Structure formats: C-alpha cells, structure tokens
Amino acid sequence: MHYPESTQLNLLRRTSSKFTVTVIVDRCKECGICIAVCPTKVLSISNMINKHGYRPPEPLNIDKCIGCKLCEYNCPDFAIFVEKVEQP
C-alpha cells in the first residue's frame, strides 16, 4: 500500500515464510498486552522510542509466529497486524 508523503506511517515489519507481523510504531502505547497474549513469544519490547515516548513491540522471533492473531485482536490501539504470506 502506498501512502502520500504527509501520511507516511512509521512501521516495524518482520516476515517469515508464513506470516508478516506489522507494528504501526506511533499508535503503540506500550501496554504490553500483545507481548503477554502471544503463545509463542514472538514479540519483545523494542529499544526504539515512538513519537509519544513509548517503546513498541518488535517481532524478534518471527519464525515462531503461528498466525493466531491474538496480538492483533487484543491491541487496544490497533497498532499490530498479522498477515499470512501468500505462497507462489
């Protein structure tokens, strides 16, 4: 998806052979719910600071993602999304 220059989103994205996890960095308020609900511990708090002063999650263990979307469904700020990678 392409956004006009004035609406560029600060994204943190990791992709495995099966899933892509995308974090919209500036929406995150570091509540930690996504990290807590992930059954395979894909997410960790990152060292980056967003424009609101919070540290968003980072999908460090992306190869462990099972695509359950618990992080996405539980995020109160709609800051994290999981997509299935389409195989050719």
Per-residue pLDDT of the chain (88 residues; tens, 9 = 90+): 454 554 678 999 999 999 999 999 999 999 999 999 999 999 999 999 999 999 999 999 999 999 999 999 999 999 999 999 998 7
What pLDDT shows up at residue 8? 75
Task: Name all domains of the chain by residue range, CATH numbers in brackets.
Answer: 20-84 (3.30.70.20)
Strand partners, 15: 20
78 sits in the region (left: phi over 0; alpha: psi -120 to 50; else beta) called left
Q: Which two tokens stand for residue 64?
A: 């462990």
